[in-house]
Structure 1
Amino acid sequence: MELVAGFTWPAIAIALAITFAGAFVRGVAGFGMAIILVPVLALALTPVEAVLVTNVVALLVGLAELRRLLREADRSALAISALVAVATAPGLALLAVTPAPLARMLIALVAISAFVAVLRPVRAANRPGRVATVATGLSSGLLTGFAGMPGPPVVPYYVGRAIARRTAKASMLLIFTVAALAGLLSGAALGVMHWRLALLGVLLFPMVVLGNWLGNLASDRIDDRAWRGFVALVLAASAVAALVKLL
């Protein structure tokens, strides 16, 4: 079978289809692409490679939307992004030395806790305290490196507050763009980021653009209650998938 940068065409076709699905979820919910993409890519790549390819596509789509994200995001997103950048490299280094069964258990626990947190009654729009903000940023950075999934700590932080959906989505996506850049820089520094992973990410990017655009259109057609329900559904699917993999 002919190879492209070490990947067969059937493998690329499967990755394109899953990338489209993940990007659509991202467009609707404001997160979720990594939750869908990383486990599938990990079937053909090592966990570290799957995380890095996901970071490539997340960075590309984030940069394409950067001006809008900066304009619409809550100010707390900048502080959380800085903490994510600091904590990503330790998370990636931790992934490299953590036994797979333990890593799966930790990821499952995080996914479950995020699902439970987002089911709580919506809180006031007031920004959470400094401790909560720091904890969100550091844990999101660790999960960016460890699992390529910065979302579980960040989603309850924004979705659980009575703020505009546009602000919540822009804040999350800005953080995830910074997380993707931090993940790639950390991978390069640790010597695990290779050119073929960047090429695969570029090949997947058109599907990200298409899926994200359609997801945004769908998001504009649903009310806030339905949107929060969809967010909870994505987190629930993430928790179930993590538990199945653990068991």
Structure 2
Amino acid sequence: MPDVFGQSPTGLAVIIFAALAGGIVRGFSGFGTALIFLPLSTPYLGPFGALIALTCMDVFGPLPNLRRAWVDVDKRDLVRLVVGCALLLPVGLSILTRVQPEVFRYAVSLVTLFMLVVLISGLRYNGAVRRNMVTAIGAAAGFLGGVAGIPGPAVILFYMSRPLPVAVVRATILLFLLAFDFLIFGYLAAFGQLTGSTVGLGLALAVPNLVGNWLGGWMFQPARERVYRVIAYAVIAAAALSGLPLWG
């Protein structure tokens, strides 16, 4: 069987599964596409290939849940997060061009596992939230998004540790990550990293990712916060561990 998008049948099957699973978790929790997709796809696509494919498909994936999220989100905080992200994202991408693919894979998995440990520990932030603090969180997310492909941890940690309704947390993370997709696509183009085959693969993956997002959104029930957290944590842990270069 000939390769498709430069991938063997096995590699393509893993990548499609990662797109579908990432979409389900994203639709259900508001985050998780990168945390699922990057650890599983990077061994086949490489760091920049995985980032490009992720960005292309992820623009379409959240569409079924945008209207619901836009109602729940704090729009001023969302703008501050995006501004901060735009400032440090190119710095992270510049560093990524200077590291080996194995280093990228370790960074993705270890940052993901660290985030998971902190979330499970039940850390909560009850102090005052200032505007510059929100912008700084966005900047940290932009840096992590550039250097490791995962913008979510800083924002997820911050919002899931605050005493906010789960619907607000989900909406903020979902919309911020969508904005990040547009930002990183522009920066990747400026860095000369876009290729036709990888963009084409990303657009094709939008189909299973969109289906996954729809399924995840259908499964989401704000009243079942405990179930929401447990399932999201379990899937993230499995993806992070599977993405470690230790397994080949």
Scaled by the length of structure 2, what TM-score is found? 0.85
31-40 or 104-113, larger mean C-alpha shift: 104-113
CA gap 1:107/1:204 in 2 versus in 1, 3 angstroms: closer
Q: CA deviation at 1:3?
A: 4.5
Secondary structure of the residue aligned to 2:229 is helix
Unaligned runs of 5+ in 1: none
Q: Which residue of 2 aligns with 1:25?
A: 25
Q: CA deviation at 1:185?
A: 0.9
Q: Which moved more, 1:209-218 or 1:12-21?
A: 12-21
Using the TM superposition, name which of 2-11 and 35-44 deviates more.
2-11
Q: CA deviation at 1:112?
A: 3.5
Q: Secondary structure at the match of 1:45?
A: helix
Residue 117, structure 1, aligned to residue 118, structure 2: yes
Cα distance, 1:130 vs structure 2 = 4.3
The alignment yields a C-alpha RMSD, in angstroms, of 2.7
Q: Tell me how far 1:65 sits from its aligned partner.
A: 4.5
Change in Cα spacing, 1:100 to 1:155, as seen in structure 2 (3 Å) is same
Any gaps of 5 or more consecutive residues in structure 2? none
Q: Residue 80 of structure 1: SS of its match in structure 2?
A: helix
Q: For 1:163, what is the secondary structure of its paired residue?
A: coil
Aligned mates of 1:8, 1:155 — CA distance in 2: 34
Residues 39 and 105, structure 2, Cα contact 8 Å, conserved in 1 = no
1:187 shift after superposition = 0.9
Match of 1:58 in 2: 58
Normalization by structure 1: what TM-score?
0.85
Contact 1:112–1:239 (8 Å) recurs in 2: yes
For this pair of structures, how many residues does the alignment match?
246
- Matched-pair contact (CA < 8 Å) for 1:187–1:193: yes
1:158-215 CA deviation, whole Å, 9 max, x = no partner? 1222222221111101110111111111110010111222211111111111111111
- Contact kept, 8 Å, 1:25 with 1:31, in 2: the verdict is yes
Distance 2:29 2:186 in 1: 26
151-160 or 118-127, larger mean C-alpha shift? 118-127
Give 1:97's aligned residue.
Answer: 98
Alignment match, 1:217: 218
SS in 2 for 1:46: helix
Q: Which residue of 2 aligns with 1:148?
A: 149
Task: Render the CA deviation track for 1:123-166: whole Å, top value 9, x for unaligned.
Answer: 47776334542332112112222222111111111122222222
Counterpart Cα distance in 1 of 2:61 and 2:86: 18
CA contact 2:56–2:202 (8 Å) conserved in 1: yes
- 1:85, distance to aligned residue in structure 2 (A): 2.2
Aligned-residue identity in percent: 28
Partner of 1:87: 88
Q: How far 1:49 moved relative to its partner?
A: 0.8
Preserved contact between residue 85 and residue 178 of structure 1 (Cα < 8 Å): no
Name the residue aligned to 1:194: 195
